[in-house]
Every structure is written in structure tokens, then in C-alpha cells.
């Protein structure tokens, strides 16, 4: 068993910054990324030369994305690397930045997520030489439509109850100026335009472009740079795992989430019911139900009813996807995980304005990536 570095050397989110998630434009990824990093530096009250290491979470940009971008803040010569972990790329960049700081290698690290859509998503697993019977007929939205079918049959849940996730998350996204989708939707609108099974267009996340940045620092860094401690959000856990082998019929993404969440809660010394705010990988509405259950927030089959009763609303028992989640804030791939950490940080500082979860003290971020991999972070409010 390794050491719990985050317990040994307190590690904090001290700065967040975003470029709005949006449909693809002519804006370069460099401009998207620099916008987010400059905002995060300003938020932390530090300057670029204070940053000692940088990780860029990106799945789509190609080789060598970091230096041509970050050197425009000043070519300071710090270590830089791209982090690719599919949808969890940004989350994994945060994990690497936390590891750098918690290990004592550096006092201030940047995790940036930035991406732009390209024609299609290049996927290594499709080049692995392992063929399957479905011959391309089961793309992600159908994979999750099948999980929705299973969930509804097992728990007596209706398509409208599953769609309730999208109703809530579009409502939250309408309050988030960085969200790609900022429109309150009616249930009729959400149930229109079927894509696959019970999944409709508005129950599937938009994949656009954007950027989000998170600055991680140690106590030494905070003291040396005079960073405002009352806005520093402690990282209690940073857990990453990959898929194991599960019995036939067990959903891999949920089973992997159970294991990763356990690792995170073990590090943090807190449990799921202690959480006030969750940002989960709701690329498709059904996923939020599966993952809130897998994270241990409720029993299997109960999440649909908790969404319906408002328990996951802003102001409810635990706000789930207050940013709008992937469904409304969007899923630009690289930025998604860093954006989750930015949102939970904002919530735990009490700076989320009209989408603030009252009294939020503990929060969790969760992403899965094709492969499959899972990344969970647990964050704690300043002064908690």
C-alpha cells in the first residue's frame, strides 16, 4: 500500500478559470487555453512565473499542444506534458498536478483542459485488432440507451424519470455563463428528437470546444505567494483506476465507479453521504443515475426517484451537476474534468452566485473515459 500523499502534504485548488464551452469556431485552441489560464492566474492572484509545472488535458489536439500555447504567457522553461485519458483527460491532468504538489516536487502546478472537435474521434481500441459482432452499430449513445433499458426494466423506472436528469441539468446550465447550453427546457422538449432507445438529443451531451484551468498549490506555495487562504479549496482525495473484469451483465462504468469512489473515500476519510455537491460524468442522462448510485449516494434504482423528488436539485439534499453537467455545460473532452473541479471549487468557496448550493462544504468530481478509466476527486471548502 502506497502513501496517502494528500494527507501528508495538504494540497489545494487556489485558482480556476474557464473559456466558455461552445460549438466549434475559428478560435484557435491556443486562444481558448490562454483565456482559461489567464483567468485562473488572476483568480489565484499569482503570475505565470509562479507556476512550476503544467499538464494539458487533451484528447483531440495531437502532439505537442502545450508549449506553443503556454509559452505565450512567458517561456519560463517549466516542465510541461499533455495528458490523454479520453473523457477523463482533464481529470487526469488534475491528478498529475496534485501528485506533483503533494509529493513535494513543486509548490504550484497547472492543470489545463483544452480541446477542439475534429472530424471524428480517433480511437485506439478500434485499432486493437479485436473485432466484434455489432459492426459499428453500438456507438456510445446506444451503449447508454441499452444501460437505460436495463435500468428501467430492473427498477420500474419510466423514460420520463430518466429524462428528469436532463430537465434538472439544463435548468442548472441556464445559470452557468460558461455552459454550452444555457436554456431551460420543458419535458416535452427533452423527450423530443429520439436518438437511440429512450435517449433523446437533449439527453446526450454536446461535444464542442472550450478550456478550463485549475491551479494547484501547497501550503508553502500559498504562504510564499500570499495567496488568499480563505478561497483555497483542499483536495482530500485524488483517485484513478481502470476497468477490471466484472460478472456478465454488470455495467462496467458503474462497477469501475464503485471501485474508484471507494479508493477516493478511503483517502479522504469521508463518505458519500457527507457530500454537498457532485459533478458526475452525465454524458447521457442515464449515467447520472448509474453513477450517483455507484458513488454510494443511494441504493441501486433509487436515483431516478431522488431526481424526481428534487433531492439532487440546487438547494436539495445534494446538488448534482450544478454546472449543468456534461448534458448542459457540455463535454469538450479535455476541459470537462478540469471544468468539474472548477465548478466544485466555486461551489465550496460559496462563489457560485445564483447556482450556489447553500452551505456546501464537501464536493466530489467524477469522470470516466473510454478504455475504461475513472477519476474521482474529493474537495473540501476553506475553513471546513
Partner 1 sequence: MPDVRARYPQLIRLAPAGSDSSPTIVGQVCGACGRRSFPPDPYGCEACGAPVDRLTTTELAATGVIHAVATVHRHHHPRPETPFTVATIVLDDGVTLKGVLTGDTSAAAVGARVRGVAVPWDTDDDGTEVVDLRFETVADHH
**Binding of partner 1 by 137 (CB under 8 A):** yes
**Binding of partner 1 by 370 (CB under 8 A):** no
Cell of 338: 478540469
Q: Which residue carries 490562454 as its cell?
A: 34
The torsion of the CA quartet 159, 160, 165, 171, rounded to 10 degrees, works out to 150
Pairing between β-strand 362-369 and β-strand 277-279 as defined by DSSP bridges: parallel
Q: Which residue carries 473540501 as its cell?
A: 380
Q: How many residues bind partner 1 (CB under 8 A)?
A: 29
**Binding of partner 1 by 119 (CB under 8 A):** no
Which of 236, 185, 190 lies closest to 345 in space, CA to CA?
Answer: 236
Q: How far is the CB of 153 from partner 1 (least distance, A)?
A: 4
Q: Which residue carries 452551505 as its cell?
A: 359
**Binding of partner 1 by 148 (CB under 8 A):** yes
* Among the residue ranges 128-136, 228-236, 258-266, 299-307, the one whose residues contact partner 1 (CB under 8 A): 128-136
Q: How far is the CB of 250 from partner 1 (least distance, A)?
A: 9
One of 2, 77, 136, 358 touching partner 1 (CB under 8 A): 136
Q: Which segments of 156-192 does DSSP mark as H helices, in order?
A: 159-173, 187-191
Segment 219 to 258, residues that bind partner 1, using CB under 8 A: 245, 248-249
**Binding of partner 1 by 135 (CB under 8 A):** yes
Number of continuous H segments (helices) and E segments (strands) in the chain: 13, 12
Cell of 160: 420520463
**Binding of partner 1 by 147 (CB under 8 A):** yes
Q: How far is the CB of 248 from partner 1 (least distance, A)?
A: 4
Cell of 115: 480541446
Helix (H, G, I), strand (E, B) or coil at 292: helix
Minimum CB distance to partner 1 smaller for 200 or for 347 = 200
Minimum CB distance to partner 1 smaller for 150 or for 220 = 150
**Binding of partner 1 by 302 (CB under 8 A):** no
Minimum CB distance to partner 1 smaller for 131 or for 230 = 131
Q: How far is the CB of 288 from partner 1 (least distance, A)?
A: 18
Count CB-CB contacts under 10 A for residue 131. 8
d(CA 319, CA 358): 9
What track of x and - describes contact with partner 1 for positions 2 through 31 (by CB under 8 A)? ------------------------------
d(CA 361, CA 380): 6
Binding site for partner 1 (CB under 8 A): 129-139, 141-142, 145-150, 153, 194-199, 245, 248-249
Amino acid at each position: 500500500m502506497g502513501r496517502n500523499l494528500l494527507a501528508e502534504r495538504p494540497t489545494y485548488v487556489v485558482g480556476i478559470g474557464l473559456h466558455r464551452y461552445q460549438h466549434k469556431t475559428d478560435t484557435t485552441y491556443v486562444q481558448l487555453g490562454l483565456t482559461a489560464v489567464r483567468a485562473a492566474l488572476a483568480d489565484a492572484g499569482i503570475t505565470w512565473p509562479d507556476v512550476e509545472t503544467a499538464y494539458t488535458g487533451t484528447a483531440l489536439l495531437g502532439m505537442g499542444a502545450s508549449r506553443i500555447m503556454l509559452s505565450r504567457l512567458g517561456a519560463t522553461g517549466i516542465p510541461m506534458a499533455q495528458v490523454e485519458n479520453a473523457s477523463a483527460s482533464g481529470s487526469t491532468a488534475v491528478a498529475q498536478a496534485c501528485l506533483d504538489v503533494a509529493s513535494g516536487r513543486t509548490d504550484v502546478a497547472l492543470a489545463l483542459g483544452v480541446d477542439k472537435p475534429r472530424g471524428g474521434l480517433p480511437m485506439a481500441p478500434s485499432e486493437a485488432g479485436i473485432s466484434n459482432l455489432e459492426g459499428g452499430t453500438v456507438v456510445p449513445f446506444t451503449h447508454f440507451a441499452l444501460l437505460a433499458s436495463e435500468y428501467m426494466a430492473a427498477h420500474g423506472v419510466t423514460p420520463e424519470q430518466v429524462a428528469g436528469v436532463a430537465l434538472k441539468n439544463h435548468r442548472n446550465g441556464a445559470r452557468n455563463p460558461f455552459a454550452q447550453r444555457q436554456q431551460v427546457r420543458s419535458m416535452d422538449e427533452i423527450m423530443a428528437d429520439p436518438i437511440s432507445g429512450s435517449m433523446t438529443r437533449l439527453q446526450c451531451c454536446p461535444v464542442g470546444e472550450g478550456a478550463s484551468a485549475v491551479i494547484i498549490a501547497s501550503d508553502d506555495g500559498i504562504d510564499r505567494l500570499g495567496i488568499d487562504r480563505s478561497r483555497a479549496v483542499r483536495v482530500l482525495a485524488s483517485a484513478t483506476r481502470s476497468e477490471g473484469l466484472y460478472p456478465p451483465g454488470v455495467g462496467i462504468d458503474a462497477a469501475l465507479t464503485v471501485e474508484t469512489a471507494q479508493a477516493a473515500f478511503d483517502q479522504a476519510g469521508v463518505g458519500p453521504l457527507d457530500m454537498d455537491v457532485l459533478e458526475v460524468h452525465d454524458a447521457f442522462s442515464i449515467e447520472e443515475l448509474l453513477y450517483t448510485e455507484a458513488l454510494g449516494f443511494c441504493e441501486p434504482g433509487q436515483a431516478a426517484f431522488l431526481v424526481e423528488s428534487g433531492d439532487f436539485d440546487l438547494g436539495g439534499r445534494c446538488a448534482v451537476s450544478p454546472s449543468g453537467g456534461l448534458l448542459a455545460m457540455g463535454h469538450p473532452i479535455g476541459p470537462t474534468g478540469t471544468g468539474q473541479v472548477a465548478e466544485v471549487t466555486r461551489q465550496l468557496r460559496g462563489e457560485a452566485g445564483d447556482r450556489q448550493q447553500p452551505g456546501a462544504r464537501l464536493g466530489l468530481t467524477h469522470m470516466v473515459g473510454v478504455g475504461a478509466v475513472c477519476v474521482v476527486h474529493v474537495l473540501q471548502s476553506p475553513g471546513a
